Amino acid sequence: MRVLVFGAGVIGGQLAHALLLGGNDVTVVARGAWAETLRRDGLRIRHYVQKTETVDHPRVLEAPDDARYDAVFAVMQYRQMEKILPALAAIDSPIIVLVGNNLSAPEMEARILTETKTPKTVLFGFQSTAGRREDGRVVAAHLGDGKLTVGGLHTDAPFEAKVTATKLFSGGRYTLSWCDNMDAWLKYHAAFIVPTVYLTYGVGCDLRKTTRAQRKQLLDAACEAYRLLMALGVPVRPEGDEKSLEPGPRRRASSAVIWAMAKTKLGELCASDHCRNAVGEMKDLSEGFDAIRARKPDFPMPAFDALRAAMPPWEELRRRYAKGSRR
């Protein structure tokens, strides 16, 4: 099957690798020096957990062409995705999947469907991959060949789209997890990520410096954000996920995971590196969650606000970590 991956950094690169394992004809859209590196050296990925390195040779374009594709995956930072919506609407493909953090999913879907000239199913996804780009290659941390949580905005994906997606990833151990409300899933994901970002910046992007009290504060802040969304009527996705933050055995398990992330290399790959390389996206997510909070401005979130107050201003962070996108 013919697939276009729009964006070939850490997440897009691992996605392209998984699609190639499925025997698909994969084209990636990349720009500038990175596009030249991919053409010259191939898509080199060091798989951190598996301790292996792979080299793939997808077709590389710097802009979408007029070909017809069975599916398109757009993997961009949150606000950068908005800039490519007209290009996505113009691509001849029945399935468009927007992958990544997104607090404007309804607006993005509406714009694509309004501007497209061919019938399209718009899905939203989030791939569980972390890492960075270095020395002409991607360093990626993932389980199996990766995992994509995917679904419609407020509904399950159509049967035909599920069949296509299953075929696309049939060549490896890539996991598809279907969700019936990705708008809600992405909001709850942001409810955990945003306070994690505040904490990460507050310790200078070195999570090894975090104290037990700070890690507890992170879980308290995420719990407050979850409760806000629940008070606004946003259904919890994944269902029951709030129990991982409420007092009890699941919260203790979450605390152990946070400790492991903070004290190992995985924490650097999953949080610190991304915060260093994507200050703009993290600021956009923070502002996006502020817009959600504005719908219930008196809702108490003391731990959330304390974490934000302890981090440097956004402009200072931009100057300190003046790098481009690494997605």
Residue with tokens 């709030």: 242
How does the average pLDDT of the chain come out, rounded?
94
Contact 124, 150 (CB under 8 A): yes
* DSSP E strand stretches across the chain: 2-6, 25-29, 43-47, 52-56, 59-61, 71-75, 95-99, 121-127, 130-134, 137-141, 147-151, 175-179
Residue 155's nearest CA partner among 109, 88, 100 is 109
CA distances from 164 to 64, 125, 172 (A): 21, 15, 15
Helix (H) or strand (E) holding 256: helix 249-263
Residue 222's nearest CA partner among 237, 239, 244, 249 is 244
CA quadruple 322, 285, 306, 192: dihedral sign: negative
Residue 222's nearest CA partner among 248, 252, 195, 241 is 195
Instruction: Please tell me the total number of residues recorded for the chain in this structure.
Output: 327
pLDDT at 70: 98
> What mean pLDDT do residues 179-184 have?
98
pLDDT surpasses 80 at 9: yes
φ/ψ region of 158 (left if φ > 0, alpha if ψ in -120 to 50, else beta) reads beta
> What mean pLDDT do residues 17-42 have?
96
Query: Alpha-carbon distance 154 to 165, whole Å?
Result: 19
Digit-coded pLDDT (tens) for 182-222: 999 999 999 999 999 999 999 999 999 999 999 999 999 99
φ/ψ region of 187 (left if φ > 0, alpha if ψ in -120 to 50, else beta) reads alpha
pLDDT surpasses 50 at 35: yes
pLDDT at 270: 81
pLDDT at 323: 59
pLDDT at 259: 94
Residue 200's nearest CA partner among 288, 282, 138 is 282
| 79 compared with 159, residue with greater pLDDT | 159
> What mean pLDDT do residues 13-26 have?
96
Contact 107, 183 (CB under 8 A): no
Query: Alpha-carbon distance 27 to 165, whole Å?
Result: 16
pLDDT at 265: 77
> What mean pLDDT do residues 302-326 have?
88
Query: Alpha-carbon distance 6 to 8, whole Å?
Result: 7
Digit-coded pLDDT (tens) for 250-277: 999 999 999 988 888 777 888 888 899 8
> What mean pLDDT do residues 230-255 have?
96
Query: Alpha-carbon distance 319 to 309, whole Å?
Result: 19
Its pTM stands at: 0.94
3-state helix, strand, coil in the chain (%, to 5): 50, 20, 30
> What mean pLDDT do residues 269-297 have?
93
Tell the burial category of 207 from Cβ atoms under 10 Å away from its Cβ (0-12, 13-18, 19+). Answer: buried
Cβ neighbours, 10 Å, residue 68: 12
DSSP 3-state assignment of 47? strand
DSSP 3-state assignment of 42? coil
Query: Alpha-carbon distance 278 to 327, whole Å?
Result: 9
Query: Alpha-carbon distance 228 to 221, whole Å?
Result: 11
pLDDT surpasses 50 at 326: no
Digit-coded pLDDT (tens) for 75-103: 998 889 999 999 999 999 999 999 999 99
pLDDT surpasses 70 at 324: no
Query: Alpha-carbon distance 5 to 14, whole Å?
Result: 10
